[in-house]
Structure 1
Amino acid sequence: MDLLMCSEDMMPETPEGVIQGPGNMSEILARRQLSCDLKFSNDEPGPLGHTDRNLLDPRMLHHMLKMEEVLHEQLSPIMFTYLQDQVTPRMRQDTLCWLYEVCEAEGYPEEVFLRTCSYIDRILSVYTLVPNQLQLLGVVCISISLKFHGINFKMDKLLYYTANSVPKNLISDWELMVLYGLKWDMATIIPTDFIQMFEAILPSSWFEDKVMHQQVSAYLSLCATDCSFMLHTPSTIAVASLSVAISHLISKEVGEEVLERFHQLTHIDKDVIRSVMEKIQIKLAQSIIPEENLTTDCDPGLNNNNKVINKHNVIQFHNDEPMTLDKIEELCQAETPTDVNDLFF
């Protein structure tokens, strides 16, 4: 495999005005307490086009399931064992959490973030990278995703979120490298492609307010950033996330009925769906900070040896930098994404 080297230092001093905070999806979800405040779009989104009924044809679903299998085979589940000798799952998670906050701050659609995550995973399955190239890869992948969705953006704004640590003159060359690694196939299947199709066969009253959408969005984001979900296809994650949201907001009985219906449509093994649902619920339970003590698992899906939570409510990260209650309160008030210097490589 090719080893991509870059002589530029991607981790310079942090300029003033850039909010610092740990890039961890567990803490991001915790400080919002999954209160359905998670959103990627503005409060007043632009007009949406009508759903093309042809996209709801069963043949389209069958075609999407076949496409996702082809794309999913490009992901190497052992990338961090044999291909990436310096990049770790935690580094990937921190980078994606940072990208999540960039998308949230800029009001980008949810699909932009999920497709960016897919691009990054596919590239990590092809090229060997070093840690200081991850943020550059993230900027390049999100720019490709934005262009794919036809969304106007300013590259200088994206570079601002990196504290200008990513040289602008490298973007074009890396875009070509990423597109070559993707085999110029940017239309990767993501969970929201199936969510839109599944919503059309469910009662519209369930989706009249934003609560259902926001809960499903939170679950999909959590799955995208956690390496333990990489083995599952987008359709499986979509079915599991929607089933968990329905079970939580409506009832467990209705959730089971919906799961059975999704199984008949997609032919995904019900035991696999239930295992993913259980995993989502476990990750959510780990990510929520109880109000009485504000303690949480700061690293979902990874070895608990990477952190220590003591009786003084101080969360100790794997780099031995303490996370105090004052720091958590500061993060709750943050309005801009975390800085590159807070990605603990």
Structure 2
Amino acid sequence: MEHQLLCCEGEPIRRAYKDSNLINDRVLQTMLRSEENCLPSLSYFKCVQKEILPSMRKIVATWMLEVCAENLQMELLVLNKLKWDLASVTPHDFIEHFLSKLPIPNESKQIIRKHAQTFVALCATDVKFISNPPSMIAAGSMAAAVHGLHLGNSNNFLSYQPLTDFLSQIIKCDPDCLRACQEQIESLLETSLRQVQHNSISPETKTVEDELDLSCTPTDVRDVNL
């Protein structure tokens, strides 16, 4: 009898199980204290990372999110070259703590987690959020996710004002500051969506627009022979 191999199919990426012992108030308070030491200086790009301009942050962050996530070795090489320390507290560290305190079903937590993580990644591409502590970005992303999913319509606790007040009490910040951060995140999302829609214009429409732009070019410029 020929030997047969038994193939067990499973998830290609092996992930560690979440440790519930780490989702408690003691760990949360420790992260809130330590994030003050991890917050980069406002003059970071002028004094430390001089070769990366603030306008280039989106390009670098987007490239790292898309490419380096697929290659851990490449990610470590890039981080070492840029001298970026990822051992510090990040917004992703706070998301699970916030979700554990929300009185909602696990199904709702799963979709909120996914949307909040997307907002956090989006904030990493914009230099305007560099002065915000990770806890505020996480809380603003969480509030923006709940607001965008319209979960407050069926749950008063998740409505705009109660949720903002609740999250601001957890991270010990002013509710107005958190609300401003949330609005800034939502504005960033709208801008990103408009850019995606603009880039997805059909080739025919783009050709017509290019012709219109060309016709508006001054005659003396078009007649220049290079």
| TM-score computed with the length of structure 1 as normaliser | 0.47
Contact 1:207 1:213 in 2 (8 A): no
Contact 1:295 1:313 in 2 (8 A): no
Trace 1:46-85 onto structure 2 (pairs within 5 A): 46=14, 48-53=16-21, 55-72=22-39, 75-83=40-48, 85=50
Change (3 A) 1:85 1:68: closer
Trace 1:271-310 onto structure 2 (pairs within 5 A): 271-289=176-194, 294-295=197-198
Shift of 1:214: 2.2
Equivalent residue number for residue 312 of structure 1: 209
Superimposed CA distance per residue, residues 28-82 of structure 1 (whole angstroms, 9 cap, x where no aligned partner):
xxxxxxxxxxxxxxx87546524323x233222211111000111xx12123345
Superimposed CA distance per residue, residues 197-234 of structure 1 (whole angstroms, 9 cap, x where no aligned partner):
11111135254575322211210001111100000000
CA distance in 1, matches of 2:134, 2:43: 19
Gap runs ≥5 in structure 2? 1-10, 200-205, 214-226
Aligned length: 191
Q: Would you say 1:266 and 2:145 are equivalent positions? A: no
Identity %: 25
Trace 1:21-40 onto structure 2 (pairs within 5 A): none
Deviates more, 1:57-66 or 1:198-207: 198-207
DSSP 3-state at the match of 1:251? helix
Gap runs ≥5 in structure 1? 1-42, 113-137, 145-170, 297-308, 317-345
Change (3 A) 1:265 1:176: same
Superimposed CA distance per residue, residues 217-257 of structure 1 (whole angstroms, 9 cap, x where no aligned partner):
21000111110000000000000000111112112752432
CA distance in 2, matches of 1:289, 1:313: 19
Q: Which of the residues 132, 143, 163 maps onto 2:76?
A: 143
CA distance in 2, matches of 1:280, 1:208: 21
Q: Which of the residues 118, 130, 134 maps onto 1:218?
A: 118
Trace 1:1-345 onto structure 2 (pairs within 5 A): 46=14, 48-53=16-21, 55-72=22-39, 75-83=40-48, 85-103=50-68, 106=70, 139=74, 142-143=75-76, 175=80, 178=83, 187-205=87-105, 207=107, 210-249=110-149, 250-251=151-152, 254=158, 255-289=160-194, 294-295=197-198, 312=209
Equivalent residue number for residue 323 of structure 1: none
CA distance in 2, matches of 1:204, 1:44: 30
Change (3 A) 1:290 1:234: closer
Larger RCO: 1 or 2 (CA < 8 Å, sep 6+) = 1
Change (3 A) 1:271 1:103: same
Shift of 1:84: 5.0
Alignment RMSD, CA only? Answer: 3.6
DSSP 3-state at the match of 2:105? helix
Contact 2:45 2:54 in 1 (8 A): yes
CA distance in 1, matches of 2:82, 2:56: 21
Structure richer in helix, relative to its length: 2
DSSP 3-state at the match of 2:191? helix
Please identify the structure whose Cα radius of gyration is greater.
Answer: 2
